[in-house]
Amino acid sequence: MTFKYNEPEEKTVNIEPGSEAETETAENDQPKLDDVQIRAAALAYARFLKDNNLTPDGETAEESIETAEEAEEASEDAAPEEADEKDEPEAAEKTEQSGQEEDDKKDEKKDKKKEAKKAADLEKIRKRQEAKQKSKEKFLREGNAPFASVMNAHDKVQDGIDGTFSKIGKDIIRGAHRIASTYKNSRRVIGIAILIIGLVASGILIVFDMFTVYEYAYNGKVLGYVKNQEEVTDVLDIAGRELTYNSSTVADVKFVANQNVTFNPVDGRGKSTDDSDTVVNKLIYMTDIETEAYAVYDGDKVVAIVKDQNDADALLLQTKADLSTPDNGMELVSAEFDKELSIKPVNVLLGSVQSNVAAQTQMTNGGEMHTYHIIEEGETIQSLAKEFGVEEFDIYDETNKEPVTEIEKGDRVCIRSLVSPVSVKMVEKGRIKEIIEYKTIKKETDEYYKGDSYLEQEGQDGVQIFEGIITKVGGEETERKATAEPEIIKKKKDKIILIGTAERPKTAATGTFIVPLNRYTITSEWGGRWGRMHEGMDLAAPTGTPIYASDGGKIIKANYWSGHGLCVEIDHGNGIITRYSHCSRVLVSIGDLVYQGQHIANVGNTGHSFGSHCHFEVRVNGSSRNPRNYIKP
C-alpha cells in the first residue's frame, strides 16, 4: 500500500546522518494524517513489529522473556529479607553484642547485593533504550515516516507507565527501609517487653491455679468441689456401675461429663475439696438422680415405669400371660390386651423406676402412682400432663403437698396418677367342669308382717360339664358358645326368702329397742361384777318412776320371782326377751300384748336389791346379752 502526501518546501541544512538533529528534523517534518491514514499506519506498524519479532517497547520476544526472569529473580532476592525479619525475634533472645555484629554483616551483604542488582538493572534499561532507538531509526530510514506520529504516541504512553511503576517501586523500597531501621533500633525494647509480658502472664496463671477449684454438679445440683476435673471424670463410670449394682431393680445409671455432670471454676479460698472416693460416695448416694426410663401406656395413661425397653417388653409378655391363664380342661385360643399398650421413654427420678414385679402388681391390681420428674427446657404444665396422661391439677410440687401453677427448668415435681388394672381379652375352648351357682329368690307373703323375712329354702350350687368356646375380658365371661349339650351332674337349688307384707299391729315387735326409763343413772354395766357375771344393766331412779316396754311383744312373766322381786318379762319373738326386775308395782298380766313404750311397771327396791333401781336384761335364746348392743342411742 502506498501513502501520498505533500512534501514540504526544501530547506538546505547540513545534518549529520544518525545524529539527534537528524532524528528531530525527521520527527518535526512529519505530515499531518487524517483518521483513515492513522488506522492504516497502525496496521502497518503492527505487521512490521511481527515481521521483525519485536514488542511495542522495542524488545524482542527473547528479551521479554529475559525481563520476566529478571523480575522473578528480584522477587526471590526480596524473600530472604522477609525471612530475616521473621527470624529476628529469635535473634532478640541472644546477647545484644552478638546480635548487632550479625545484623551488621547481614546489612553489608544486603547493600552489596542491592548495588549489584541496581547496576545490572540500569545496564538492562540502557540496552533496551538503545535497541528501541535503533529500531525507530531503521524504521524511519526505510521510508516509514508516516508512522512517526503513531510511534510517538505509543512512546509517550509507555514512558508514562514506566515512570509510574518506577515511582511506586521506589516508595515501597523506601518504606521497607524505614520499617527495618525502626525495628533494628527498637528490637531490644520489644524483646524486653515480650519477656516482661510473659513473666506477668505466667505469674497470673500460677496465682489463678493456686486459688481456683472446680465446682461439680449433677443436673444443676452442686455436689462439691475438687482441685482437678479429672478427680470427677475418672470415676464417673465407676460411680454409675456402683449405683446400678446397688439399685439392681432400677434403670442403668450413666454419669456423663459436661452433660448431666458439669463443672464450673470458682474461687477456692475457704472451700474444702473432695477426693475421688468422696466424689464416688456423693454420686452413688444421691436420691434425686434423673434417668431415662421406659413407661408403659394403657391408651394415653402411664400404668408402669421400668428401667429399659427390654424390661418393658418382658413386663407386657408376663402380664398378658398371667391374665390369660385358661381354666383346667380348656385350651387358650388367643389372648390380647383389651386396649393397646405402648412403650415410650420418659425422664424421671431414679426412685420412680419400678422393678418388674412391682410394675406387674400395679398393672394387674391397679393403685395410686407417684412419679417424680425434673422439669426440662421447654416443658409446660400442659405438656407434662399430656405426656403422663394426667390432669394438670395432678402435678404437685416437690414435697407432693400442693398442685403447681408455674414451673421452670430445674424444678422437681410429683405427678400423681390413679392406675386402673389392665385387662386381657382371651378366648379358650375345651371341656370344663363348672359350678352352676344358685340364685336367691325373694317371695312376698302376707303371712308375715312388713319388715320381717323368713328363709323358706336354703340355696345349693349345681355342677355341670360344659364343652365349647368361652370369651373373657378382664377375667369376666362375656360370651360362650356350646359345641354340645351341657352334662348336668348335680342340679342347683335356689335360695328362697319370704318377705312379709302384712301390716304390723302396735303390739308387734319392731326389732329395735329403747331404754325403759326416761330419767335414770347407770350404776352398774353388763359384765363381770364382784367375782361373778352381772347379766343386766342397773338404771337407778326414785321409787315409782315409770318403766316402759323396750319393744312390742307378749307378757310372759308379771309376778314376784326370787331375788328379782317383782319382775316383768316380754317375749319379742325370734328368741328375744327383755326382763325388768325389782319393781315396786306391776301394771300388766301374763298373756297381755304390749307395744313399744307402753307403761308396764314402776321402779322399786324389791328382791335382792340395795337401792331403788330397774335391773334391765336382754336375752337371746336364753343367754344374756349386753343391752347396749340392742338399744338405740
Q: Going along 124-244, which residue ranges are E strands?
A: 212-218, 221-226
pLDDT of 257:
87
Arithmetic mean of pLDDT, 482-495: 93
What is the gyration radius of the CA atoms in the chain, in angstroms?
Answer: 62
What does the alpha-carbon distance between residue 393 and residue 434 come to, in Å, rounded to a whole number?
48
DSSP track, 216-263: EEETTEEEEEESSTHHHHTTHHHHHHHHHHHTTTS------BTTTEEE
Question: In 3-state terms, what secondary structure has residue 121?
Answer: helix
Does the structure show a pLDDT above 90 at 385? yes
What does the alpha-carbon distance between residue 284 and residue 247 come to, in Å, rounded to a whole number?
10
More confident residue, 581 or 134: 581
pLDDT of 200:
67
**190: β partners:** none
Does the structure show a pLDDT above 90 at 442? yes
The structure's pTM equals: 0.41
What does the alpha-carbon distance between residue 54 and residue 524 come to, in Å, rounded to a whole number?
152
pLDDT of 452:
75
More confident residue, 329 or 59: 329
**Residue 416 contacts residue 396 (beta carbons within 8 Å):** yes
Does the structure show a pLDDT above 70 at 584? yes
pLDDT of 544:
94
Least confident piece of the model among 89-93, 353-357, 577-581: 89-93
Domain locations in the chain as residue ranges: 20-179, 214-284, 290-419, 436-502, 521-629
- Looking only at the bridges linking them, the beta strands covering 521-524 and 537-540 are antiparallel
DSSP track, 363-389: HHH-EEEEEEEE--TT--HHHHHHHHT
The answer as to CATH 3.40.50.300 being correct for domain 521-629 is no
pLDDT tens for residues 525-566? 998 888 788 999 999 999 999 999 999 999 999 999 989 999
CA distances for 392 relative to 16, 388, 409, 415, angstroms: 117, 10, 17, 9
pLDDT of 543:
95
**Residue 577 contacts residue 571 (beta carbons within 8 Å):** yes
More confident residue, 543 or 448: 543
Residue 206's pLDDT band, with cuts at 50, 70 and 90, is low
Please say whether the dihedral angle defined by the alpha carbons of residues 11, 14, 17 and 19, taken in this order, is positive or negative: negative
More confident residue, 478 or 251: 478
pLDDT of 38:
62
Buried b (16+ CB within 10 A) or exposed e, 166-191: eeeeeeeeeeeeeebeeeeeebeeeb
The answer as to CATH 3.40.50.300 being correct for domain 436-502 is no
pLDDT of 438:
94
Q: What is the 3-state secondary structure (H, E, C) of 511-574?
A: CCECCCCCCCEEEECCEEECCEEECCEEEECCCCCEEECCCCEEEEEEEECHHHCEEEEEEEEC
